């Protein structure tokens, strides 16, 4: 059978040509290193400022390969014509170019955010908790990480692996994040155990400092709990309780709807629909460019099934190895105090592996 109207495969020479053009365009998109940074020991560096996160200023220099971390507390002057989104500890967000007022030499250092020619805002350096360089290019606004780990044992012919990714998109007053995690464990003579989760969440700042509203959706599959697919949709109002260069702590209250499809069993049950309240918390702890700890937990007391409670948590600990490569240790857990008869009420586990970060870091 002959199919017509389909494009022909590219020749090798055409593919090489297109690749060179794309590479050339990427190089053209690279910003010139014209930012100026002065350290407290007097060192003056011309660089490209990538952004600030967790007390670490990320910069790129012509004579150093890759992105270099700089202790934000040791920077005494910063000048950049690039536009940044700047978030402070009280939840305020600004957008503009950066510079240090002339004559500044006392502590704390003040950073001047030039939003427009007629509008400038002075911010104490130690109050700035996040800076993200903006870009007209959509794909240059993302940052995140990808993780992988595997363990094999010949003795019982067991294999365990975990795969995960996290992608964030930040704008002036809102942000969105997608998380994916997959875990598999198989041993000789034992059924393979799998757990897969996909979550999407978005936040938008409210007019009041440190308050936000959030929407979320989550999909979970767990062979241990007999869950073919658990779909969660909800949202609520939250607040940052603490937001500094060393710690971020937030809480959220709201409601969710859950639809759970179970595997076939002796008990005639196929799926359940539950409306539940939502109480969630998120904590992030940082130590300059070396380690960080992320913990998120949610409690879901059912409203349509009184007395039933579900609890979920994910925790990740990272240790920097070199450049964008980190070692990670993760923990996940799901609990249901009243699962259907014959089904497990819990699924939890740990894994270790490597993480590669991209974007801001």
Say if residue 238's pLDDT is above 60.
yes
Chain segment 133-165, per-residue pLDDT in tens? 776 556 666 788 899 988 776 666 678 888 999
> 197: pLDDT confidence band, cut at 50, 70 and 90?
very high
Residue 76 vs residues 44, 49, 172, 234, 306: alpha-carbon distances, Å: 10, 14, 25, 44, 57
> pTM here?
0.74
What local confidence, expressed as pLDDT, does residue 22 receive?
Answer: 40
Please state, in angstroms and rounded to a whole number, the distance separating the CA atoms of residues 287 and 294. Answer: 12
Residue 262, by phi and psi: left (phi above 0), alpha (psi -120 to 50) or beta?
A: beta
Q: What is the pLDDT of residues 33-63, one digit of tens each?
A: 788 999 988 899 998 888 888 888 888 888 7
Q: Which of 310, 296, 132, 286 is nearest to 199 (CA)?
A: 296
Kindly list the domain boundaries of the chain, sorted by start residue: 35-134, 139-358
Q: Quick one: tokens of 314?
A: 């994910």
Return d(Cα 332, Cα 313) in angstroms, integer. Answer: 6
Q: Which residue has the higher pLDDT, 101 or 250?
A: 250
Q: How confident is the model at residue 331 (pLDDT cuts 50, 70, 90)?
A: very high
Q: Which residue has the higher pLDDT, 104 or 41?
A: 41
Per-residue pLDDT, averaged over 230-239, amounts to: 96
> Is the predicted pLDDT of residue 333 greater than 70, yes or no?
yes
Q: What CATH number matches the domain at 139-358, 1.10.1040.10, 3.30.70.2080, 2.40.50.140, 2.40.160.40?
A: 2.40.160.40
For residue range 288-300, what is the model confidence (pLDDT) as tens digits? 778 889 999 999 9
Q: pLDDT-based confidence at 279, cuts 50/70/90? A: very high
Q: Write the pLDDT tens digit of every residue in 164-187.
A: 999 988 877 888 999 999 988 877
Which range is least confidently modeled, 11-15, 39-43, 97-101, 279-283? 11-15
**Which CA distances in Å does 8 have to 11, 14, 161, 325?**
9, 12, 39, 39
């Amino acid at each position: 059978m002959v199919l017509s109207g389909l494009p022909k495969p590219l020749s090798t020479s055409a593919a090489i040509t297109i690749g060179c053009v794309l590479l050339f365009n990427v190089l053209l998109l690279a910003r010139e290193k014209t930012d100026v940074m002065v350290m407290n020991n007097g060192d003056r560096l011309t660089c490209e400022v990538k952004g600030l996160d967790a007390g670490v200023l990320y910069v790129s220099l012509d004579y150093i390969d890759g992105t270099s971390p700089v202790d934000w507390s040791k920077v005494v002057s910063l000048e950049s014509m690039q536009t940044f989104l700047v978030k402070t500890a009280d939840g305020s967000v600004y957008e503009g170019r950066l510079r240090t007022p002339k004559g500044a030499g006392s502590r704390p250092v003040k950073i001047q955010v030039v939003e427009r020619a007629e509008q400038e805002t002075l911010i104490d350096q130690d109050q700035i908790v996040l800076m993200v360089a903006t870009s007209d290019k959509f794909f240059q606004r993302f940052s995140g990480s990808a993780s992988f780990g595997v363990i094999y044992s010949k003795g019982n012919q067991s294999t365990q692996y975990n795969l995960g990714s996290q992608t964030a998109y930040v704008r002036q007053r809102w942000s969105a994040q997608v998380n994916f995690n997959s875990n598999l464990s198989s041993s000789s003579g034992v059924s393979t155990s799998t757990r897969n989760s996909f979550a999407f969440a978005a936040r938008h700042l409210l007019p009041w400092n440190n308050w936000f509203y959030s929407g979320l959706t989550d999909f979970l599959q767990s062979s241990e709990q007999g869950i073919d697919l658990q779909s969660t949709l909800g949202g609520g109002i939250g607040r940052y309780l603490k937001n500094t260069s060393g710690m971020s702590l937030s809480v959220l209250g709201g409601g969710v709807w859950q639809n759970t499809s179970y595997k076939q069993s002796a008990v005639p049950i196929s799926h359940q629909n539950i409306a539940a309240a939502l109480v969630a918390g998120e904590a992030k702890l940082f130590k300059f460019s070396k380690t960080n700890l992320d913990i998120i937990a949610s409690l879901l007391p059912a409203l349509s099934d009184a007395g039933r409670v579900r609890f979920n948590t994910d925790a990740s600990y990272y240790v920097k190895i070199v450049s964008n490569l980190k070692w990670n240790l993760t923990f996940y857990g799901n609990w249901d105090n009243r699962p259907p008869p014959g089904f497990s009420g819990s699924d939890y586990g740990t894994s270790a592996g490597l993480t590669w970060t991209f974007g801001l870091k």
